[in-house]
Amino acid sequence: MKLGPTEIIDTFAEAFRMRFVRLIVTAHDDYWLDAAVREFCGYASSVIACDAEIGVERHLTATETPDGRPGVALLVFGFSAEALTKAVPNRTGQCLMTCPTTAVFNGLAAAEERVPLGKHLRFFGDGFQKSKRLDDRRYWRIPVMDGEFLVEEWLHVGKGIGGGNLILQAATLEAGVAAARRAVESIAELPGVITPFPGGIARSGSKVGSRYPGLAASTSEAYCPTLRGQVESQLHPACNYAYEVVVDGIDEASISAALATAARAAAGDGVVAITAGNYGGKLGKFHFHLHQLLA
C-alpha cells in the first residue's frame, strides 16, 4: 500500500491498557493558562520513568468551561488508578495551585473508579479551607495570595489505551521533521487523544528490556540508522532518519482515527515509509493494523 510516494508497511501498532483522568483547567486569561499547562505537562512523556503521560487534549472556549473562563482539557495517563492518585494531586498542588488565577475541575462523567484531588489538596489551607457542594459535586476553596484556589474534590478515572504509534521513515532530516510536525499537528485537531512526547515525537524509540540488568527499556536498535549493518534493521533502504509518533487515547476508536489521520498527513515527498512498533502481540492486547486503518 502507498500514500503517494510513501510506502505503508503491512504491520500493526501494539498498545496496552492504561487508566486516565481528564482535568479542566481554567485561568483569568490565556497567558496564565499557558503557564499552568506548561508547568503541569513537564516531565510527562513516558511512564518508563515519568509518573504519568500528559498532554493537552484541546483548548476550550469560555462557553465550554464550568466557570466561564478560558480553559484546556488535559488528559493524564498512568498504569493504574493508584499511580494517578500519587501523580495528579502532586502535580496539581505544585504546578496549578501555584499558578496565578487557576481553577481545576473534573472533566469526566461518572466512572467506576475515582481519585482524590481537592480531598487531598484542601489540607494546604491549614484549616481555613471551605467546601461547597453543587449538583452532587463537591469543590474546595483554598485561600491563596490572590484570593482562592478552586478545585474539585474527586476526579473520575477512565479506561484508556497507551502506546499507539507510527514510525515515520525519511530520506532527509528536513523531510523527517516536517513529516513529524504534520502528523502531530493533524492529531491535535482530534478529540480524545494526546501525543505526550516532546513536540509529540520520540526520536529515542524504545524496546522492552536491555542487556543491562535492571533497565526496563532501551533503544530500539532495529530503527537506528547508524546501526544498520550491525543489527537486523527494520528500516527502509532509503531511510536515514526515523521518528516515532506515540498516541495515548481514551478508546480504540480515538487512537484509530489519530493514527490514520497522522499517517495521511505525514506521507509525502522524502518520507519513504511509515511503519509501526510492536512485539508480535505479546506486550498489549490492542493492535492497530495500518493497512486496515487506511483502507
Class of domain 18-158: alpha beta
Mean pLDDT calculated for residue range 110-133: 95
**Same-fold call for 2-15+161-294 versus 18-158:** yes
Task: Report the predicted TM-score, pTM, of the whole model to 2 decimal places.
Answer: 0.95
The contacts found for 209-214 with CB under 8 angstroms, 24 or more apart, are none
In this predicted model, what pLDDT tens digit does every residue of 74-87 receive, in sequence order?
999 999 999 999 99
pLDDT at 244 over 90: yes
DSSP bridge pairs for 152? 139
What is the per-residue pLDDT for 201? 98
pLDDT > 90? residue 188: yes
110 pLDDT above the threshold of 90? no
Mean pLDDT calculated for residue range 200-226: 95
Angstrom CA distances, 197 to 86, 202, 259, stand at 21, 6, 15
The domain segmentation of the chain, as residue ranges, is 2-15+161-294, 18-158
Helix (H) or strand (E) holding 32: helix 30-40
**Banded pLDDT at 111 (limits 50, 70, 90):** confident
Instruction: Please report the pLDDT score of residue 11 as a whole number.
Output: 97
> Over 90: is that where the pLDDT of 136 sits?
no
- Classify strands 271-275 and 6-8 as parallel, antiparallel or unpaired: parallel
- Classify domain 2-15+161-294 at the CATH topology level: Alpha-Beta Plaits (3.30.70)
**C-alpha closest to that of 205 among 240, 249, 242:** 242
pLDDT for the residue numbered 262? 98
Q: What is the DSSP letter of 228?
A: B
The shares of helix, strand and coil residues in the chain, as percent rounded to the nearest 5, are 30, 35, 35
Contacts of 71 (CB under 8 A, 6+ apart): 24, 25, 26, 27, 33, 59, 60, 62, 64, 65
Q: What is the pLDDT of residue 245?
A: 98
Confidence of residue 285 (pLDDT cuts 50, 70, 90): very high
